Amino acid sequence: MKIRNGFVSNSSSSSFCILGFAVPEGHDGKKIEENSELDIAYGIEEYYEETFVGFFPEQMKGDETLNHFKQRIVDQLKTQNIDVTIEDICWYTDGGRDC
């Protein structure tokens, strides 16, 4: 098997890693994108499109613990009227949940 590192220009899929929350159905993800510090990722989970909001790993500060990082995400989500707790925050990769 060959493994490619780096950008693949003809890839038909995208991949991502985000620590955050899957936006509930009926919530307008585009409003979040326009009015927030949150990062947005779009993926496919269980054969339907889903929007994930949170922070990409590079947003974590050097002296920040994982729980502080999660709390920062929770605080940002609450500004977008998404009521979550630290326990609701998960890693999502390639559109799938990894909690």
- Are the CB atoms for 98 and 89 separated by under 8 Å? no
Q: Residue 58 contacts by C-beta under 8 Å, 6 or more apart in sequence?
A: none
d(Cα 91, Cα 49) in Å, to the nearest integer? 17
pLDDT in tens, the chain (99 residues): 445 455 444 444 557 899 999 887 777 666 776 777 899 888 765 556 788 899 999 999 999 999 999 999 999 999 888 889 999 999 988 755 666
Reported as half-sphere exposure (CB side, CA atoms, 13 A), residue 84 has a value of 25
- Are the CB atoms for 18 and 39 separated by under 8 Å? yes
| Surface-to-core class of residue 70, CB atoms within 10 Å of its CB (0-12 exposed, 13-18 middle, 19+ buried) | buried
d(Cα 87, Cα 74) in Å, to the nearest integer? 10
